[in-house]
Every structure is written in C-alpha cells, then in structure tokens.
Amino acid sequence: MRLALSSSFIASACFILFACTSEKTDITKNGITFCSESSPASFNPQLDTSSTTADASSHQIYDRLLEFNTEDGRIEPGLASSWLVSSDGLTYTFQLRKGVQFHNTEYFTPSRNFNADDVIFSIDRWRVNSHPYHDVAGGNYPYFQSLGLKSTIKEVTRINGYRVEISLYKPDSSFLANLATDFSVVLSAEYAMELLKDGSPSDLDKFPVGTGPYKFVAYRKDQYIRYERHTDYFLDTKGPEHLVFDITPKSSLRVAKLITGECDAVAFPSQNDLEIIREREDLTLLEKPGLNVGFWAFNTSKPPFDNPKVRRALALAIDKTSLLEAVYLGQATRAKSLVPSASWAHQSNMQDLGYNPVAARKLLDEAGIPFNFTMNIWAMPVQRAYNPNAMKMAQLMRSYLAEVGVTVNIVSYDWARFRENLTIGMHDSVLIGWSADNGDPDNFYRPLLTCSAIPSGTNRARWCNEDYDTLIESALKTDNANERRVYYHRANNIIFDETPLVPIAHAYQYQAVSNNISGMVINPFGGIRFDDVERKP
Amino acid sequence: MAQFNLYQEEYHPSPIMHIWLEFKRSHFALVGFAVLLLFCVITILAPLLAPYDPNVQNTNAILLPPAWEGNGTIAHLFGTNALGQDVFSRTLHACRITFGSSVILVFIALVVGVALGTLAGMNRGVKSSILNHLLDSLMAVPTLLIAIIIVAILGTGLANSMLAIILALIPQFVHQTRNFVREEMKKDYILLDRLDGASSFRIFWKSILPGMFELLAVQSTLALSVAIIDISALGFLNLGAQSPVVELGASLSQSLEVAYSAPWLIALPGFCIFLMVLSINIVGEGLRSALRNRLIH
Amino acid sequence: MINLLLRYINLMVITIAVLVVISFALPYFFPGDTLTNLSGIVPESDAQRAALEAAYKLDGSVFAQFWHYLNTLVNGNWGVSFTSQTSLLKEVSIAFPATIELITYALLISVIFGIPLGFLGGLWHHKPFDFGVVTFSVVSYSFPVFWLALIFITIFSLQLGFLPLSGRVNLLYDVPHQTGFILLDILRADMPNKADAFYDAIQHIILPTLSIAFVTTAIFVRFTRRSIMDVMEKGYIDAAKSRGFTTKQIFFKHGLRNALLPILPLMAMQISTLITNAMVVETIFSWPGIGNWLIQAIYQRDYPAIRIGMLVVSMFVVSLTITIEFLSRAIDPARDKFERGAV
C-alpha cells in the first residue's frame, strides 16, 4: 500500500514537473512581459511629466484626440476623426469618433460610449481651477502649466455629443501638437462622476479607466503592473491578451532578464550591455537618434548658484568629452544648446564651454568661493536615454570638481521622491534631462527654462529671465520657421551667457527586444506602445 | 639537529606556546593562519602596495579586462572598472577597509562586552535580573538582522554600520564573559584572593582575565568572521560604506551593473571576502581543537 | 514547570514591550516631520495636519500617544507606507509569507542534506569521508551568501539559461493571494494552466532556496557530527558494545535519538539565521519578501514602513527564539541552561 502511494506520488510529481515542459502554454503565448525601469507616479499622465508614468499609462490605457505618427511625427486622427482650424488660428473644432468604448473593469462598468463630455472633462480638469477634480491629486499638472496652456485656452464647448470646439485667446502654432502628446489623454467623465458620488475621487488616477488598447488590472509598487487586452478597442490591433510591466530598476538586471527570457522587451538597456545585445542572435537592439538633451542644472534660486560666475566656473571644471565617452560610451553627441541636430532649430555654430580647470578655479576665486566648498549633485536614480547612468556621471564629476577644490556629495532618492524634492528646490544641482514630447523646439525651450515652468517643476534650474521668456513668447507668435530660428538662437546665447544649466549630450534611444516578439518600435514622441506588438508563432 | 641538550631537562612550554604547538600540527590551520597574516599585511600596507589611488578615474581605460586576457594590460593587473579605476588597487583598499574595520569593531565589542560581562558575573545582584535574560534572547538573533535594523534607524554609512555591528556583537561577549567569570568566582583560588584582601578589580585583572584569554581568542575569531560577513553584506545592500569609501561588499554591488560584460569584477571582491572568512574560520577551528587537545593531554 | 513557563512568559512580555517601546520612540528620532514619520502622509493643509495630529494624539501626553499606538498595533491599523500609500498591514501580510516560504524550503533542504552528512561524518570520524564533510562545511559556512547567490545566477541563469533569476513566478500567471505561499496558492487557485504555473514557480524557487540553504546545511552538518561524536564516546555505548550489539543496532537504538534530541533546538534556532540570509538574498533575486521590502523602505527613507518592518521581523525572531528555548528546557529539564552551539 505504502509503496503504491509513494510511487503514485512520484508519478504525479514527475507529471507536474515534466509534462508541461515540451510546449509553451497559452498564457505565456498570449502574454508579453516588458521590463520597465521604475514605478509610475500615477496612472494619469496629466499629473506627471516623467516618461515612466507616460509609458505605463498613456498609450496603454488611454487615447488622445490626436496622435503622432511614430515614423515621421505627423499629426494623425485619434479619438478625433477630423478637425478644423479657423483662419485666425483661434478656434479648433474636433469631430469625435463614434462607438468608442471605455474599459469595462472590476471597478467600473461604463453605461455609455465615449463622447464630447469626456473631452471637456479631461481638459477642464487641469484648465479650470474651480473644477471639482482640479485639486484631487494636488492640483499640479506640470506639462500644461509649464507650457502656459491654461492661459492659452479660452473655452472648451460642446457643440453636440460628438463635436467639440476649443477657442484660444491667442494663436499657438504648437497647439495641435500639444493635444497629441502623451499628456493630453482622455479620461472617462462618467467614471469620474461616479467616483465623486462615492466620495473616492482620488481613485480616478489610481484605478484608471480609458479607451486605450489595454485595461488596467493590478499594480504593486516596485513589482509589477498588469494589463489585459481591451477587447472592444476601436482600432484593429494585434496586441497580446496579457501585458505585464515587470518593474526592474537595475538596468543590468533588466538585460539579464531579457537574456534568460523573463522579459520580452526592456527599457533603457545599460550602455555597457549594448554590444552584447547586438551580438546575440536571439535579441534585437532598436536604436534611434533621440530628441532629447541631458544636462546638469544648477538651482539658481540658491546662493551661490544664483551667481552666473559660479555656474560658469563649475561648467568649465568638468570635461564633457570624457563624460560622453565614459557614460554614453560614445553613443551620444555633445550638446551645446538645448535642441539636438535632428530639430530644425538646432544651431550648429553654437559656442561651447571647454574643459578648463584653471579658469574655473580663477572664476571661483573671483566669486569668493572658498577652497573645499561643498555642494551636492543630485543624480537621478533611473536610466534615461539622455542620461543612462546619472550616478556614474556624478561620480566622474565629483573627481573633476575635486580638482578645482569643490567637494561633492551625491544625492539620490527613489524616483517619485526625487522629483518631488526637486520641484520644491531642495537640490544644489541636478543631473537630469528632457525628452521631446513633440517635434517642436518650443517643447525644449519653454518647459526647461521659462519662469512659468518653475512651479510645475520642469524648470530644474529654477531660473527666470525676462528677456529669455520674451524671446520664447515671440517665437510662438509666428509660423515662419526662419524667424522662429532667429529667436531661438538668441535664446541660446542667453543660456550660454547665464549658464543656468550645462547641456551635456543628445543621446541615442535604445530598446532591447527579444526576437520572439515583433512589432516593437521606438516612439520618438513619448511613451512606449504595445498595440501592435505580438508574439511570433 | 644542530643543537642538542646535554642535560635531560624537562621542557614545560607556556600555555600559549602549548596552544601554538598544538595548532601547528594542523597544516590547514597553518595555511589559514598565513592567509590571515597576509590580510593583516594588506590592511596595514595597502596604501603602499596599491599601484594607483583607488579613487582616481581614468576615462581612457574603462572596463579593461584583467592582464591575462587578450586586451588587458599589465599596468592594470585585474583590469579597471566602469569608472576606469584600477581594480587591483581598489581591492587592496577595500580589503583594508573591510578587514580593518571588522578588527576594530570586534576589539571594541570585546572590550565593552568583557567589561559588562564581568560586572554582571561578579555582581551577584545582577545575576538573576531580567536584563541577563533579555541579553540572552538578543544573542540568538543574528547580528546582521540587528545591524540592518540599527542601520535603518541610524542611517546608512560605514561608521553607522560599524556601530550597529558592535552593538549586535556585544551580547555574545557579555554572555561568554559572564558565564566564565561566574564559574571562576566559585573556585577556591578566588576565595584565597579575597581572603588576602584583594579588591574586586584586582581579582578580575590579576586572576580572572589571564585565564579568560583563550576563551576570548576563540570568541573573537568567531566574531571576526561574523563581522566581516556583516559589514560586507551591509556594504552590498548599500547600507554600509558609501562611495568614495571602497569596501568589498560595496564594490561587489557596484560591479553588478556590469556583471555581464565584466564578470571578473564580481569574482574578485567576493573571493576576497570568502578567503578572509575562510581563513578566519580555519584558524578559529584550529585554535579550538588545539585548546581541546591541550586540555586532553 | 509552571515556574519555568511563567519565567519565559515574563521574558517574552518584557522583550516585546521593549521592542514596542523602541518602535514607538522611533518616529520622534527619525529626521523629518514627526507627523509624517508617524502617519506616512504629508499633510497638504493645516486642517489636514490638525486632523492627523488629533488622530495620532500628538496634542496629548506621551502616554496618550503610546496608548493610541498600542491600540493601532493591536487593531492592525498600522498606517500607510510613505512611498506607496498602501496599508502597511496589507504589505507586510503579503511580503512576510513569501519570506517564510523561502526559509521553509531552505530549512527542509538543510535537514535533508545536513543531518545525514553530519551523521556519517560523525560515525566515520577521521576517515576520508569525514574529512570531506568537514571541508565542505567549513568552506560553505564561509561563503558570503550574497556572493553565492551571484555565482548561482551567473552559472545557472546567465550562462546555462536553466533557471530564471527574479521573482516568484512568471508575472503573466496571475496567482491570487491566499496563503502567501506561492506553491500552495497555485495549487488552491482556480486558474487555467495550473500545472505550468506550478512548474514555473518551482523553477523560480530553486536558486534562492539553495543560496540560503547552503550555510544552514553547513551548520547542521557540524551540529550533527559533533553531537554524534560526543554520544558515541558515552559510557552507555561502550556498555552496549560489551553486551555484543552490532554497531548498527547500537547506533539506531541509542546513538540516533540521543544525538538528535539535544541539537533539535539548536537547529530550530537557525530559523533566524535563515531569515537574515533570506533578507539579503531576496534583494538579489527580487523575491517579494519582507527583507526586500524592508531594505527598499530603508533606501526610500520610508519611516512608517521601517518602523513596522523592524517591529514585525524582530518580534517574530525574538518570540520564536524564546519559544524554542522554553520548549527545549521543558522537554529536557536536565539541561541546566540553554547551550548555544559554537559554530
């Protein structure tokens, strides 16, 4: 008896262990795991400019009125099937798509399809201060605030259920592009009202409902986000049944997991591993010159960094060429101004500060900075195309600055906390950067350095210069690219003279993908997309 | 035999000499002892031995492989890391920090622990107190766990993690000392001392402490191996030494970033920790069996 | 007996009281705003601050605050994590079983391998086999557990590609949380592909378990070997020999029981070593256990989480230790005092 029992146990154990090894099962066949670099701050990209948040929500859960073509950046129909711009450039009319369904989830069952009310709700939430949802998540909408869109839009009106009109105070040549960015998502007004009635409005950004190709299933901070395919999605897409974001902060670990097959695609592979990925036959490295800039910003609201001399001295003390080699391993071009050469506003004859520790020390002496002055450099804890390893860069900079008698403490928090503390200006200087959300140069100049971008936190230098602001304003009032270019070049000169930040690099964007899946492309205008990704048979 | 004794003299080695003679009989123990001495030498002389400043960064020589591989150079024996720092120099300095700080912290824990243990052991009143029991149950908790918790409270850093491990090690010394002292206090020779009018301190210093030497030696080797593992584990978890201090565990965790392209960066610091702990354990083992054998003979 | 029980209960109560008092005091010593350290919430308005202060009795005396703290501890209302804003009770109740699961398997492995090896080593004392056993135990006892885990990963995951290197199960399997033990949860779950998920989970569990089982196995080998050697030198073994029993009979009749009994509590004590090593190994294998959670909390200076995490872990370890100590003395009153195994 005992023998029979134990042998049947062994047999069943063998069955469990080996019966299924031969073929891949449904769930792993119909599912895709993406290893992302960090936990999103929320599931509503209106609330955060971090690309982590955009990756996790924007193109998965939501749709926008307009979309960028990932190839050439042209604006294409999204939830709006067509649009009209009045001749004075002040009124935009959008015809909305019919029959678009919101997600039906465990926490919300939609009773109606997408219509004009949802568009109005989504825009008014950040636009109207008295909106019941305006202050629900702190009332900070950094992208829209940094662009000053609140004061651009006059009114959003409903013409009928599927037609919306937006009128502006002043013409804005980048308005349509802004509606196509990751941040201009369309939320469900019906869900919001239901939550308001239940007294839990903050769930709107934690348990999201959208019209996008995937619906939200579950999230555990620092561990995973689970999505499920939105079966009634209005476009015909090939995406997998299940999508999982496996949150893996270490870039080397992400690549390791790609190698063992635990991830199908990874964000920001470590620069050191690029060669390995290229060499392996089962992996593909996607690369694209990025519309981005990595920089070192000084907190100009804190002495002695309010002194342009000090900032210039520190800029002279670091050797950008070595940083490019050591951190980007040569996979980046040296940045002299904010916009990369891919943009039409790029200034190729821009002057640049070289590496000159002697001049740096002299300037520091002039500014009365003592030897052994201590400052901190905040190094962002996540990898980005524009700075794949800020910690390493900070360590290299520490040794350069030590040569001119400046002691550096390197500071790092987890990403969400890091950004919060940056926004309130706790830093002396920070290594961070910016990726374009649309192809317009205004998307660099305005959020990064204008006065109105300080409270929203995208102006990491907390630098405010009226001449600069006037130039950026003037550049938007015209459609003529040559005229705009002149304004931007003059702005470049102000940045050079004042050095609120030191541009370091424009870098390549990378994604590493297993050859088991197809359809992954790098989206140069924002968040990652999985709507057309599928597992190869 | 170059020498011979004309008179047949009975040779009585001193107790310590006796232990050494017993210890010497095991080749393993001797090898372990030699390795341990080597680490002591490195700890003292690391700045002289290291060819480079461990923190100097050379961006022209990043991630060079070790000298014996194809494109390595003899200028960097174990290659360089992701910041272009010489791995050999860094490893020497890291051994110095890890080993040196462990020795220091074990010494401090020993002094404090023996002091407290003696007080508890000689003082009858404290004997049955609940404090003793508390200390005993604290002793069963792994030191690393206590250290992690203390570091969580104090904040990260080498000094804090040393403090944490000292605090975590003290109970063991207290326990051993207390038991030993209590046993000795019952013996006649202490009573003799008392009758001679010796003060408590004198009894401890002249009579008990010399007898405790062996016990403390064994306990210290145990504590030292624990301390090394703990301090490098804290370093590995980024709770201990922070850059620019080079420490074995911390270098190991920094190497993780390039684990796939530069596996030798993981092998070296890990192996050093392993070798340190192994040699200490072997010496400890040798010491213990030497003591046992001496008592038997 | 009653006396003994009372003494240990007394000890347990006092130890736990000390831990609770320490954890109560922590938020006042942590840097930053005490209120945020207590509640995990950054007050956004004065009204909210006042409400929170009232809720945490910050306006009252220290005793009122302590009483309130005790109440929240007992009620399971442990507050929220500063970074994720989720209930700490919930996070701990998910993370802690994951660690327990890991150490359970590691303990099993250590018992299955450690005890027989130690037996044989002790019986064939000073033979080549014993020499091998001793060498193995000294070497594996000296391995830093984090380095061992990295070596396993390099060999079995990256080079050979046999085993996964992170997590408990492929995340595509959505295993509902029931017991917190992933293998049990899969077996109990109502999900398709159960067998696949189970197999996948086993693959995930192998490397972390082995990494922490290594050291404990070495310790078990030494305990068992020493104990067998001591027992076999005892007079009653000689007596049995003189009565003509075979070695086998002697060993199973007298040796085994008498050698095992005294070391059982010593082995049980190793659970706390296992927990510590598991905490380190979890961070390497991204195992979602209490160690990984606590260390993340330390990185993120999430003081509410640190406080609860340290309280839970230390309470568990200390009460476990005291219980084992009590049981071992209750079973074997002859033993004067708990003797700690020197390793």
pLDDT per residue as tens digits for the range B72-107: 778 888 888 888 888 999 999 999 999 999 999 999
Chains that touch A (3 or more CB pairs under 8 A): B, C
**Chain C CB contacts of B281 below 8 Å:** 138, 141-142
The pLDDT score that the predictor gives to residue A428 is 93
CB proximity under 8 Å: C 205-264 to A: none
d(CA C266, CA A336): 66
Interface contact B144-C280, CB threshold 8 A? yes
How far B59 CA lies from chain A's nearest CA (Å)?
Answer: 6
**Chain B CB contacts of C143 below 8 Å:** 274, 277
| Residue C83: C-alpha distances to residues A221, A457, C39 (Å) | 9, 19, 12
Candidate from A513-517, C172-176, C213-217 with smallest mean pLDDT: C172-176
Looking at the partner chain, which of B59, B62, B260 has a beta carbon nearest the beta carbon of A252? B260
B141 interfaces chain C, CB cutoff of 8 Å:
yes
* Torsional class of C79: left (φ above 0), alpha (ψ -120 to 50), beta (otherwise): left
Q: Is the peptide bond before A304 cis (omega within 30 degrees of 0)?
A: yes
Q: Considering only CA atoms, give the Rg of chain A.
A: 25
Looking at the partner chain, which of A20, A217, A224 has a beta carbon nearest the beta carbon of C195? A20
**Chain B CB contacts of A259 below 8 Å:** 260
Give the residue among C261, C275, C236 at the shortest CA–CA distance from C115: C261
With CA atoms as reference, the chain A residue closest to C203 would be: A17
Residue type for position C48: Q
Per-residue pLDDT averaged across B151-178, rounded? Answer: 89
**Chain C CB contacts of B260 below 8 Å:** 158
Beta-carbon neighbour count of residue B151 at 10 Å?
A: 22
d(CA A126, CA B96): 57
DSSP strand pairing (A91-96 vs A153-160): unpaired
**Chain C CB contacts of B99 below 8 Å:** none
3-state secondary structure of C170: coil
The pLDDT score that the predictor gives to residue C164 is 92
**Can you give the pTM of this predicted structure?**
0.86
- A444 burial type by CB count under 10 A (0-12 exposed, 13-18 middle, 19+ buried): buried
C165 interfaces chain A, CB cutoff of 8 Å:
yes
**Chain B CB contacts of C318 below 8 Å:** 137-138, 141
Residue type for position A357: P
Interface contact C165-A262, CB threshold 8 A? yes
User: Is A533 in contact with A239 (CB distance < 8 Å)?
Assistant: yes
CB proximity under 8 Å: B 224-243 to A: 243
Interface contact C199-A16, CB threshold 8 A? yes
C153 interfaces chain A, CB cutoff of 8 Å:
yes
Instruction: Extract the tokens encoding A250.
Output: 């270490």
The pLDDT score that the predictor gives to residue B44 is 93
With CA atoms as reference, the chain B residue closest to A393 would be: B83
Interface contact C280-B263, CB threshold 8 A? no
Q: Considering only CA atoms, give the Rg of chain B.
A: 23
3-state secondary structure of B34: helix
**Chain A CB contacts of B262 below 8 Å:** 272
Q: Give Cα A513 to chain centroid, integer Å.
A: 20
Q: Give Cα C299 to chain centroid, integer Å.
A: 22
Q: B15 pLDDT exceeds 80?
A: no
d(CA B223, CA B212): 16
Q: Binning pLDDT at 50, 70 and 90, where does residue B130 land?
A: low
- The DSSP line for chain B is -----SS-PPP---HHHHHHHHHHT-HHHHHHHHHHHHHHHHHHHHHHH-SS-TT---TTS-SPPPTTSTT--TTSTT-B-TT--BHHHHHHHHHHHHHHHHHHHHHHHHHHHHHHHHHHHH-HHHHTSHHHHHHHHHHTS-HHHHHHHHHHHH-SSHHHHHHHHHHHHHHHHHHHHHHHHHHHHTSHHHHHHHHTT--HHHIIIIIIHHHHHHHHHHHHHHHHHHHHHHHHHHHHTTSS--TTS--HHHHHHHHGGGTTT-THHHHHHHHHHHHHHHHHHHHHHHHHHHHHHHHH-
Candidate from A360-364, A461-465, C22-26, C56-60 with smallest mean pLDDT: C56-60
The pLDDT score that the predictor gives to residue B129 is 62
The pLDDT score that the predictor gives to residue A8 is 42
The pLDDT score that the predictor gives to residue C342 is 38
| Residue A12: C-alpha distances to residues A5, A7, A24, A111 (Å) | 11, 9, 20, 48
Q: C251 pLDDT exceeds 50?
A: yes
Give the residue among C320, C266, C325, C290 at the shortest CA–CA distance from C88: C290
Q: Which helix (H) or strand (E) holds C156?
A: none
Interface contact C172-A242, CB threshold 8 A? yes
Regions of chain A short of the pLDDT cut 50 = 1-24
The pLDDT score that the predictor gives to residue A378 is 94
Interface contact B141-C147, CB threshold 8 A? no
- The DSSP line for A196-228 is HHHT-GGGGGTS---SSSEEEEEEETTTEEEEE
Contacts of B296 (CB under 8 A, 6+ apart): none
d(CA A37, CA B235): 23
Instruction: State the best of C298, C301, C316, C340 to mutate against chain B, taking most chain B CBs within 10 Å.
Output: C298
d(CA B241, CA B247): 6
The pLDDT score that the predictor gives to residue B113 is 92
Architecture of the domain whose range is B25-53+93-248+275-296: Orthogonal Bundle (1.10)
Q: Is the ipTM of this complex over 0.95?
A: no
Interface contact B134-C147, CB threshold 8 A? no
Q: Considering only CA atoms, give the Rg of chain C.
A: 24
Per-residue pLDDT averaged across B249-263, rounded? Answer: 86
Looking at the partner chain, which of A26, A253, A414 has a beta carbon nearest the beta carbon of C83? A414
User: Is C40 in contact with C72 (CB distance < 8 Å)?
Assistant: no
**Chain A CB contacts of B260 below 8 Å:** 252, 255-256, 259, 272-273, 276
The HSE-up count of residue C119 (CA atoms within 13 Å, CB side) is: 15
The pLDDT score that the predictor gives to residue B297 is 60
User: Is A475 in contact with A488 (CB distance < 8 Å)?
Assistant: yes
The pLDDT score that the predictor gives to residue C53 is 82
d(CA A180, CA A78): 8
User: Is A286 in contact with A520 (CB distance < 8 Å)?
Assistant: yes
Interface contact A325-B258, CB threshold 8 A? no
**Higher local confidence (pLDDT), B127 or C328:** C328
Contacts of B130 (CB under 8 A, 6+ apart): C10, C11, C14
DSSP strand pairing (A292-298 vs A66-68): unpaired
Q: B270 pLDDT exceeds 60?
A: yes
Per-residue pLDDT averaged across B162-179, rounded? Answer: 90
CB proximity under 8 Å: B 88-147 to A: none
The pLDDT score that the predictor gives to residue A126 is 92
Interface contact A410-B243, CB threshold 8 A? yes
Q: Is the peptide bond before A269 cis (omega within 30 degrees of 0)?
A: no
Interface contact B262-A275, CB threshold 8 A? no
What separation, in Å, do the N-terminal and C-terminal C-alpha atoms of chain C show? 31
Report domain extents, chain B.
25-53+93-248+275-296
How far A15 CA lies from chain C's nearest CA (Å)?
Answer: 9
**Chain C CB contacts of B232 below 8 Å:** 144
**Chain C CB contacts of A14 below 8 Å:** none
| Structure-token match 């984090």, residue found | C146
d(CA B257, CA B243): 15
Average pLDDT score, chain B = 85
How far A479 CA lies from chain C's nearest CA (Å)?
Answer: 43
The pLDDT score that the predictor gives to residue A6 is 42
Instruction: State the best of A15, A16, A35 to mutate against chain C, taking most chain C CBs within 10 Å.
Output: A16
Interface contact B57-A251, CB threshold 8 A? no
Q: C87 pLDDT exceeds 60?
A: yes
d(CA A320, CA A357): 12
Candidate from A239-248, C104-113, C225-234 with smallest mean pLDDT: C225-234
The pLDDT score that the predictor gives to residue A10 is 41
Interface contact A259-B59, CB threshold 8 A? no
